[in-house]
Amino acid sequence: MAAVKESKWIVSVNGNPSYCGIGAGGVQFANGKAEITSKRMADWFMEHDGYTVTAQ
């Protein structure tokens, strides 16, 4: 059986590359970036201004 690859996204805070803290949905940001595995949260950040989301 083949292994299932987990999807990941990197969320970047536009205009504040040094942001550290907790964002929407409890997502933890460090140095303006967060790594997430939730498609639902990736969609949320894509739909809101101020963030850039890239698939890994």
Name the one residue in this structure whose structure tokens are 């890239």: 54
pLDDT for 20 beyond 80: yes
Beta bridge partners of 46: none
Cα–Cα distances (Å) from 46 to 4, 9, 33, 37, in that order, read 24, 11, 14, 14
Residue 5's identity, in one-letter code, is K
Q: Is 6 exposed, middle or buried (0-12, 13-18, 19+ CB in 10 A)?
A: exposed
Report yes or no: 47 and 20 within 8 Å, Cβ to Cβ.
Answer: no
Q: Is the pLDDT of residue 9 over 90?
A: yes
33 pLDDT exceeds 90?
A: yes
pTM for this structure? 0.87
pLDDT at position 44 over 80: yes
